[in-house]
């Protein structure tokens, strides 16, 4: 690891008292969980991903090289130091993507001798990827703007008791029976959709370009079974009862839980219905990692918060978005190349917010690590952060303030004014003009919330080289103090660049 010795000793001082630490995001994902899992792996012995699937994209910088992990924990580059990296029971695993990730590590001479895969993790099938892609674009219109990785259908089939698990890969007869069962159900779901669109989707690269397609039956069941048995052979040596391994490790070895997505994408508590298919908050993560919450607890939950701007990928309301609807539509349709061309010379101080948001996207390299979609950008939203804190703790890691180094003004959304039709929230009625200090997460409310801003001066100098809190510009410290007091957060680390060493331990 390239980080300096003084930072490592500060990190160990900060974390010494803990046994079980979780890192998850308090926004809509992509806040830098990968960077911090990689960094905090220095402290940990066992690292477990507990939720989500290949919808996640976690970036880790190793020297000048960027690795993006979708399924394998972001700790894997420290396998050589004996760190155990586990995909836990709550993860939706597409074996094609997992095998590709392992092959990439092998090609780069990175070891994965201590990698384990939960035998009861959820197995994503081609049927689920097709359904995700077709149903989310029903009638040609994007509904949620999913990543198209089959996440929603994998978890919904699990709840319907027609899902498969990783261990099925090791048992040909069970696999065949369960695949057939799932295909029967999936064909019913796909009835009524245009066969030409289905054929098109079945030829997508994520579906091995037509490998599983049958011109008459849609799914070539034998081909699915054959390919999945091959995956099973490739993965067999890693498949284990990781729940018992993790439970035996609790209290004996330092455990780091790697979250995916973010609290605002949580299926139960996020900005519904624009959420992912599983629980992404700390408790969901811990259960998905194999914890028994009656006996084991996370003693430090570090919530990662992009600061003082934020991003969102996919559809759904975003009250502080630079350029509002125009930005949402642009980011839905544009490619990374087109976006970079459009905003090549845009400034972070542009009075046109759509351009300002484009400049921030360019400087923050805000393009989906999984889908390459331009991420929507907007100012830090405290009503949403206060809401997300219900599921997190005050201990946070703040990331990416360096992206706003050139901003003359920083705007922080402190509350909303509701501007929609009367809406009942339990015993309360929201009417036009109602002020909200904490967000109400339902999309039908959020889409009518107008942000109220506090404007603070920017620091207007580069902070990437700073390693000590006291060296931060006073304007940035004022913004930190303001947000800390308003949202009740206590930053434990501040990230000033993508590399592990670009971190200030507070």
Nearer of residues 57 and 317 to Mg ion, judged by Cβ: 57
Distances 397 to 10, 230, 300 between C-alpha atoms, Å: 15, 41, 12
Q: Which of 32, 52, 53, 57 binds Mg ion (CB under 5 A)?
A: 57
Q: How far apart are CA 260 and CA 257, in angstroms?
A: 10
CB atoms closer than 10 angstroms to residue 173: 8
Instruction: Indicate whether 97 belongs to the interface with ligand IMO (CB under 6 A).
Output: no
Beta strands in 201-260 (DSSP E): 213-214, 218-219, 239-240, 255-258
409/506 Cα distance (integer angstroms): 24
Residue 495 contacts which entry, ligand IMO, Mg ion, ligand GDP, none (Cβ below 5-8 A, type-dependent): ligand GDP
Between residue 364 and residue 383, which ones bind ligand IMO under the rule CB under 6 A? Answer: 369
Of 119, 128, 67, the closest CA to residue 94 belongs to: 128
In terms of CB distance, is 30 or 353 closer to Mg ion? 30
User: Quick one: 53 or 57, whose CB is closer to Mg ion?
Assistant: 57
Catalytic annotation, residues: 30, 58
* Contact residue for ligand IMO among 88, 314, 383, 498 (CB under 6 A): 314
* From 24, 74, 127, 276, residue interacting with ligand IMO (rule: CB under 6 A): 276
Mapped onto helix, strand or coil, the DSSP state of residue 117 is: strand
Token pair for residue 331? Answer: 């980011």
Taking CB under 6 A as the binding criterion, the range among 142-150, 157-165, 377-385, 419-427 that sits at the site for ligand IMO is 142-150
State yes or no: residue 313 binds ligand IMO (CB under 6 A).
yes
Helices and strands per DSSP (H, E), number in the chain? 16, 24
Interface residues with ligand GDP (CB under 6 A) are 25, 29-35, 57-59, 61, 364-365, 369, 399-400, 402-403, 495-498
The SS3 assignment for 403 reads helix
3-state secondary structure (DSSP) of residue 424: strand
- Binding Mg ion by CB under 5 A: which of 369, 398, 479, 489? 369
Q: Is 498 in the site for Mg ion (CB under 5 A)?
A: no
Q: How many CB atoms lie within 10 A of CB 93?
A: 24
Answer for which of 10, 85, 127, 147 binds ligand IMO (CB under 6 A) is 147
Residue closer to ligand IMO by CB (options 20, 399) is: 399
- Residue 48's H or E segment, with its range, is strand 46-49
Is 30 near Mg ion (CB under 5 A)? yes
- Would you tell me which residues interact with ligand IMO (CB under 6 A)? 25, 28-30, 52, 55-58, 144-147, 149, 151-152, 260-262, 265, 274, 276-277, 313-314, 369
């Amino acid at each position: 690891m390239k980080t300096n010795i003084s930072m490592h000793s500060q990190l160990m001082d900060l974390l010494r008292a803990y046994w079980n630490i979780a890192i998850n995001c308090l926004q809509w994902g992509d806040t830098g969980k990968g960077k911090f899992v990689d960094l905090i792996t220095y402290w940990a012995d066992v690292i477990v991903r507990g939720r989500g699937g290949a919808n996640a994209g976690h970036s880790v910088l190793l020297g000048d090289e960027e690795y993006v992990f979708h399924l394998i924990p972001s700790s894997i580059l420290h396998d050589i130091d004996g760190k155990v990296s586990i995909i836990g029971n709550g993860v939706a695993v597409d074996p094609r993507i997992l095998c590709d990730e392992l092959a990439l590590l092998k090609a780069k001479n990175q070891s994965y001798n201590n990698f384990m895969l939960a035998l009861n993790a959820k197995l994503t099938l081609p049927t689920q990827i097709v359904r995700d892609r077709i149903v989310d674009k029903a009638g040609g219109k994007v509904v949620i703007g999913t990543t198209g990785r089959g996440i929603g259908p994998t978890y919904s089939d699990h709840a319907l008791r027609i899902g498969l698990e990783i261990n099925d890969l090791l048992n040909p007869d069970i696999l065949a029976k369960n695949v057939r069962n799932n295909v029967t159900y999936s064909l019913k779901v796909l009835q009524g959709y245009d066969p030409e669109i289905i054929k098109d989707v079945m030829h997508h690269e994520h579906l091995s370009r037509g490998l599983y397609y049958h011109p008459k039956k849609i799914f070539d069941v034998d081909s699915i079974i054959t390919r999945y048995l091959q995956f099973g052979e490739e993965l067999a040596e890693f498949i284990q009862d990781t729940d018992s391994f993790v439970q035996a490790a609790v209290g004996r070895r330092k455990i780091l839980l790697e979250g995916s997505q973010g609290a605002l994408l949580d299926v139960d508590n996020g900005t519904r219905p624009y959420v992912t298919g599983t629980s992404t908050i700390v408790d969901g993560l811990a259960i998905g990692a194999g914890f028994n919450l009656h006996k084991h607890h996370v003693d430090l939950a570090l919530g990662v918060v992009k600061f003082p701007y934020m991003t969102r990928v996919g559809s759904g309301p975003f009250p502080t978005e630079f350029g509002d609807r125009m930005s949402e539509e642009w980011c839905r349709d544009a490619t990374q190349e087109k976006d970079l061309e459009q905003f090549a010379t845009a400034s972070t101080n542009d009075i046109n917010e759509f351009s300002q948001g484009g400049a921030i996207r360019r400087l923050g390299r805000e393009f989906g690590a999984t889908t390459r979609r331009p991420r929507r950008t907007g100012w830090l939203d405290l009503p949403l952060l206060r809401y997300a804190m219900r599921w997190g703790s005050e201990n946070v890691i703040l990331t990416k303030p360096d992206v706003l180094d050139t901003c003359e003004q920083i705007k922080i959304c402190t509350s909303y004014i509701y501007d929609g039709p009367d809406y009942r929230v339990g015993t309360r009625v929201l009417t036009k003009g109602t002020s909200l200090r904490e967000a109400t997460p339902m999309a039908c409310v959020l889409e009518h919330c107008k942000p109220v801003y506090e404007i603070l001066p920017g620091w207007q100098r580069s902070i990437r080289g700073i390693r000590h809190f006291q060296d931060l510009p006073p304007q940035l410290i004022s913004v930190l103090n303001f947000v800390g007091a308003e949202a009740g957060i206590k930053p434990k680390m501040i990230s000033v660049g993508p590399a592990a060493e670009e971190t200030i331990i507070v």
